[in-house]
Amino acid sequence: MMNTEEVCKEIIQSIRGKVSHEKYTDFFLSHPYSNTALAISDFFLEQGIQTSSYLTKRQDIKLLKDCTPFIIQVKSENNKLFGIVYNIDVTTAFWYNPIKNRKENISISLLQKLFSGFVLIIDNTKKIAHKPNIKSYIRDFFNKDFTFMIYSLMTLSSLVFILRIYPTFSFNIIINFILIAIGVFICLSIINYENGESIYLKKICHKKKTIDCDSIIHSQGSKVFGVHLSSIGLSYFSGLLLICAINSTVVLNSLLWIYLLSSIFIIYSLYYQIILVKKICTMCMSIIVINIGLAVNLFFVADTSFNIKDIKEIGSVIICMYTAFILIQTYINGKYKNKEFKREKYTLTRLKNRKDIFMKILMQQRKIESLTDNIGIVFGPSTAEYKITIITNPCCYWCKELHKEIHNLLWSRSNIKIQIIFNVPSSSSNMELEVSRAILGSATSPSTYYASNEILDFWFEKSYNNLSLFKKRFIFPKTILEAQDNKINEMYFWCKSEKLYTTPSIFINGFLMPDEYELKEVLYMI
């Protein structure tokens, strides 16, 4: 069990940030260690938020009261659960409980027992989370679970009220519509819960002595002929919503018969939950209550008599129910296929990012034939285990994008050294030559002028393709710059001899980095 994505969502919300659901999913699917603190740290780094990790004694957790909010690792199976501490005082703390999937107060003594000793401090976050109020619950309720139907439901709601309420007012029709709309929302939220997309329902449906939504929703009895009851329920209520838009007394009367027929589901659901599983699903019970409410609402006002002339009207009811079923099943099937695709993608990513597999693929790649010891610029310790050689060009856009990863790499790894080789022909533009000369010149005598990494950072991050700004910032004697031409030519002819014509090209210990990998992925395996 892992909750790294869940924890990141909670932290982003607590600091009033906004990140799309797809961004969370894509990041954690592609991360080679998605269930670790490293994945959490990398996610925040991608959002521009710095983190610091520490190992501390459990009794010292109360000393971190000025660092809130911070993430802690909770003692559980394999230590893969993470909680969030929002506030600490003398005797209690307010935190996100990953076991119960909710925010709650907890005594310091109990928190210390659950605390494993690992803490991740979120830097530069002045806004912290507060206890959720009704407004935040309503906002999360709509934003997280019901994006799919929100606009269509509002349009349909307007249509229903125009056709059924005006010009005659009916209290029963209003109640009928409201109950059906609630049924649509509940069924859709159950479907999202099945797909692991509804954090809100996880907070409602956490396990208790007699309540266990997972035991019901994911059981064999939750399917009829291979179709989930949640899908059937959503089709049922959506069809009823369409039926409500038909301005006909016969159709209204037929709704009562539909509600009475649904009693078969009520009996089956109660028998399955109470007798067989001996657990109750709160959302399933809500659907039962809604069905009973719908039947009672129309029982005393609907006419149950039947006329052969009413068959045409009843045909409209059948069409509405069938149309809703087809549309909903198409949506659900697409949702499940997308989930299956993501699961397969996750499995392949995990397989691809195994170090032994990567090394075997790497050793089968093209290898540099000639030595590179005396050309280019090298950053990092000379005794580093891994040497990453990057063939680059100052005016290459993709080299500019790659530099962001190089910058992070230089500050985060001690077992890697990076060699920069410029593929700049003597016939290149003045811009390419000027920048290359300046970077190489700084490497010649860095103590006298500027550090090479400082020049690289400034060029690629602040003055890319702006030579005048670059020359104002870095001033070198002409003799120093002209002395670099031989080095530039030497690097160019080396690239030509190795038949390296594209930039950037990346080699790891002399082997070309496989096309299937990105540099940021490789860093987890070396």
For residue 303, the model assigns a pLDDT of 62
d(CA 232, CA 226): 11
Antiparallel, parallel or unpaired: β 92-97 and 81-88: antiparallel
User: Has domain 360-522 been given CATH number 1.10.3720.10?
Assistant: no
Give the three-class secondary structure for 281: coil
Q: Give phi and psi for 372, each to the nearest 5.
A: -120, 15
CA distance to 235, 407, 488, per residue, from 413 (Å): 54, 11, 28
270 with 288: CB under 8 angstroms? Answer: yes
**Residue 1 carries which side chain, given as an amino acid letter?**
M
Nearest alpha carbon to residue 31 among 412, 401, 345: 345
| Residue count (the chain) | 526
DSSP state of 511: E
The share of the chain scoring above pLDDT 90, in percent, equals: 8
* CATH class of the domain comprising 4-122: alpha beta
Domain ranges of the chain: 4-122, 134-343, 360-522
Our CA angle for 405, 408, 412, nearest 5°, is 135
Give per-residue pLDDT as tens, 407-450.
777 766 778 888 999 998 876 667 888 888 888 887 765 544 45
**Token pair of 407, please?**
């910058």
71 with 83: CB under 8 angstroms? Answer: yes
For residue 473, the model assigns a pLDDT of 81
- Cα dihedral 225→228→231→235 (10° resolution): 30
pTM of the model: 0.57
Give per-residue pLDDT as tens, 307-363.
555 566 667 777 777 887 888 788 777 777 877 787 787 777 778 878 888 899 999
489 with 437: CB under 8 angstroms? Answer: no
**Token pair of 383, please?**
């005794």
Match 């499940």 to its residue by tokens: 336
Match 């039926």 to its residue by tokens: 243
Burial of 114 (0-12, 13-18, 19+ CB in 10 A): buried
Distant-in-sequence, close-in-space partners of 368: CB < 8 Å, separation ≥ 6:
389, 498, 507, 510, 511
Distant-in-sequence, close-in-space partners of 262: CB < 8 Å, separation ≥ 6:
236, 291, 295
**Residue 249 carries which side chain, given as an amino acid letter?**
T
Categorize the per-residue pLDDT at 391 as very low, low, confident or very high, splitting at 50, 70 and 90.
very high
For residue 94, the model assigns a pLDDT of 92
d(CA 282, CA 279): 10
**Residue 19 carries which side chain, given as an amino acid letter?**
V
Domain 134-343: homologous superfamily in CATH: VKOR domain (1.20.1440.130)
Give per-residue pLDDT as tens, 125-140.
444 334 445 555 555 5
Cis peptide before 69 (omega within 30 of 0): yes
Give per-residue pLDDT as tens, 356-388.
888 999 999 999 988 888 888 888 888 888 899
The full DSSP string for 163-201 is IIISSS--HHHHHHHHHHHHHHHHHHHHHHHHTT--HHH
Same fold, 4-122 and 360-522: no
Q: What is the mean pLDDT of the chain?
A: 78
Categorize the per-residue pLDDT at 242 as very low, low, confident or very high, splitting at 50, 70 and 90.
confident
**394-425 core/surface letters (b: 16 or more CB in 10 A; e: else):** bbbeebbebbeebeebbeebeebbbbbbbbbe
For residue 145, the model assigns a pLDDT of 45
Q: Three-state secondary structure along 268-284?
A: HHHHHHHHHHCCECHHH
